[in-house]
Structure 1
Amino acid sequence: MSTAPDHQSAPIPILLREDHEGVVTLTLNRPQQFNALSEAMLEALQTQLDALAQDEQLRCVILAAAGKAFCAGHDLREMRATPQLDYYQDLFRRCSKVMQSIQNLPVPVIARVQGIATAAGCQLVGSCDLAVASEEARFAVSGINVGLFCATPSVALTRNVSIKRAFEMLVTGKFIDAATAADWGLINRAVPEQELDSAIAVLSAQIVARSPTAIRYGKAMVYRQKQMSLGDAYDYAADVMARNIMEHDAGEGIDAFLEKRAPRWAPK
C-alpha cells in the first residue's frame, strides 16, 4: 500500500508580500535559516523590487523578516557548494544590485528589524532609507570571523556610520546593540519589541500622509546630490525644487497652509 500523500503541499514562499493602501510589506521567510540571502532569496527580492519600481500607486515599502533573526547574511552552505571565482563574482554582483534597487525605488523603504542583522543582513538594513529596530536587535559585519572581510556590506555601512566606527566593526566582527546602532546612525530608532509594529505603522502613515509627488522628487535628489561637489549639489537641488514647486501638490500644499485647511494631494 502506498504511503504517498494524495496531493503535494505547495512550497512555502521564501518572500511574502502584503499590500495595504499603497504600503507594501516584503517579509523574508526563511526563519529556520535565519533569513539568509540565498540565490533564490536574492532572485525573489529582485523580482519584487523591479515590479515595485514600476508601481505608480506605491507610497512606501516595509522590509521585514519572519522568525528570530532579521537576516544572517549570505547562505554560507550554498556559497561553499560552488567554490568558483566567477560564481562568487556573480553572486555578489546580484546582491549589490538588490541593495541598489532598494535605494533606487522612488519611495521610502523602511527596515523592520526584529532580530540580528549580520554581514549582508546588516548591509540590507544600511541600504534601506529608514530603519526601526527592536531593542533586542543586534548588528554586525562578522565575515571577518570566518576569514572573509565584509567588503560589499562595508559600502552600505560606511554610508551610514563614521569610517572609524564602521572599520572597527569590520575588522573585529563585534556586535553592536540597537541603542548603539541608533546612536551611530545605522537605524533611526530602537523601540521595545512590543512597540515595533506600532512604530513602523506610525512612520509609514506619516509618509503616506505627505505628497507622493514631493517624496518621489526628494528621495532621488537626496542620494544623487551626495555624490556631487557642494556647488553642483546646490545647483541640482535648486533645479529639483523649482520643478517640484511647479507640480500640483506644491501649489495645493501652500494654498492649504495659507487657508488653514488639510491639503488634497493629487492621486498618483
Structure 2
Amino acid sequence: MIFMNCNFLIQKIFRQPLSKMYSSASNITSVHFEEGIKKITLNDFKTRNSLSIAMMQNLVEHITQDENNQELRVIVLAAEGSIFSAGHNLKELTPEVGRSQHEEVFKLASQLMYSIIDSPVPVIAQVDGLAAAAGCQLVAQCDIAICSNISKFSTPGVNFGLFCSTPGIPLARKAHRTTALKMLLTGEAISAAEAKSSGLVTTVCPSEDLEKEVKRTCEAIKLKSRSVVELGKKFYYRQVDMDIKKAYELGGGQMVENLSIADGKEGVRSFVEKRKPRWSH
C-alpha cells in the first residue's frame, strides 16, 4: 500500500503517468524517456563508444523496449564526447577469438540495424563528432540523421585490412554512389557539409543548436498519428528497393489500407471539417 501511495504521489507531482518518464543507466549507455521521446546515449569513453558486443546488446534492448507503448513517439540515438562511435571493437575481432565470435559480432550488428528498421517509431541519430565504420553504419541506418557542423563520417576499414562491407550497405542506400565509393575505397572522412550534400545526413547545424534542432524534429513527429507513421515507415522500407511498377502496385493498396484505419479516417475528416485532428494513435 505504501508503494502504491508513493507511485500516486510521484504521478501527482509530475502530472503524468510513470510510463511517460524514466531514466536508466548502465556503464556504457544511458536512457531517458520523457514526453514521448526516448533518448539513448552511448557513453563508453574508454572504447570511443565502440559497437562492442555489450554495446550492441544494450542498444537492441533499449530500442525494442517500449515499442508497444503508445506513448513512445520517437527514439534519439546520441553519444557523449567528441566521438559518436568509432565502430566495432577490434579487440573482439582478433584472429585469436575465433570465427564463431566474428560471426556473432556481425550477426548482432545486423540485429541492431533490423531493430531500427523494424521500430514502429522514427529513430533519429544525433551526431556531434566522428562517426566511423560501424558507427557511420549506425547513423546511415537511422531514419533521420541530424549532425553538428563539426561532425565527420568515415568508413576506414580498408586502411587496416577490413573493408567496411556491412557499413557500406546503408551507406550505399543513403549517400550518392560516388560518395559512398570514395569513402569505402579511400577510407577518408567526409565533412558534415559533404554528408548533407550526398544525402547521408538530413540536417546540419552548429553544435550549440543541435539539441534544439533534434527537439524540433521530434516535436514535429509527435504531432502526427503514431499508427499512421508506423504504417508508412514499414511500407517505405518494404518498397524502397522494389521494381517501381511493383512498388506502385503495392502502394495503392497501402493507401487504401491507411484510409481504413481509425487515424486515417480521422485525418481526412479533420481536413474536410477544417480542424485539428484528434489522433487515437
- Residues 165-187 of structure 1, C-alpha deviation per residue, up to 9 Å, x if partnerless? 21111010001000110100000
Superposition map of 1:201-216 within 5 A: 201-216=215-230
Matched, 1:217 2:238: no
Structure 1 position 245, deviation (Å): 0.8
Superposition map of 1:1-150 within 5 A: 12-80=26-94, 82-150=96-164
Distance in 2 of aligned mates of 1:56 and 1:227: 29
Contact 1:72-1:116 at 8 Å conserved across structures: yes
Structure 2 length-normalised TM: 0.87
Matched, 1:159 2:173: yes
Q: Percent identity?
A: 37
Flag structure 2 segments of 5+ consecutive residues without an equivalent: 1-24
- Residues 218-249 of structure 1, C-alpha deviation per residue, up to 9 Å, x if partnerless? 00000101132222211211111111111221
Letter in 2 for 1:145: N
Structure 1 position 216, deviation (Å): 0.7
Distance in 2 of aligned mates of 1:202 and 1:32: 32
Structure 1 length-normalised TM: 0.91
Give the secondary structure class of the aligned counterpart of 2:139.
helix
Contact 1:31-1:68 at 8 Å conserved across structures: no
Distance in 2 of aligned mates of 1:105 and 1:120: 19
Distance in 1 of aligned mates of 2:168 and 2:180: 7
Give the secondary structure class of the aligned counterpart of 1:242.
helix
- Residues 155-206 of structure 1, C-alpha deviation per residue, up to 9 Å, x if partnerless? 1110111222211110100010001101000000110000000000000000
Give the secondary structure class of the aligned counterpart of 2:215.
helix
Structure 1 position 12, deviation (Å): 4.8
Give the secondary structure class of the aligned counterpart of 1:152.
coil
Structure 1 position 257, deviation (Å): 2.0
Distance in 2 of aligned mates of 1:119 and 1:49: 21
- Residues 83-138 of structure 1, C-alpha deviation per residue, up to 9 Å, x if partnerless? 41221122111111101211111111000001100000000000100000000100
> How many residue pairs get matched?
257
Q: Which moved more, 1:53-62 or 1:101-110?
A: 53-62
Flag structure 1 segments of 5+ consecutive residues without an equivalent: 1-10
Structure 1 position 81, deviation (Å): 7.4
Distance in 1 of aligned mates of 2:184 and 2:74: 31
Distance in 1 of aligned mates of 2:69 and 2:111: 19
Matched, 1:247 2:247: no
Letter in 1 for 2:263: D
Distance in 2 of aligned mates of 1:64 and 1:24: 11
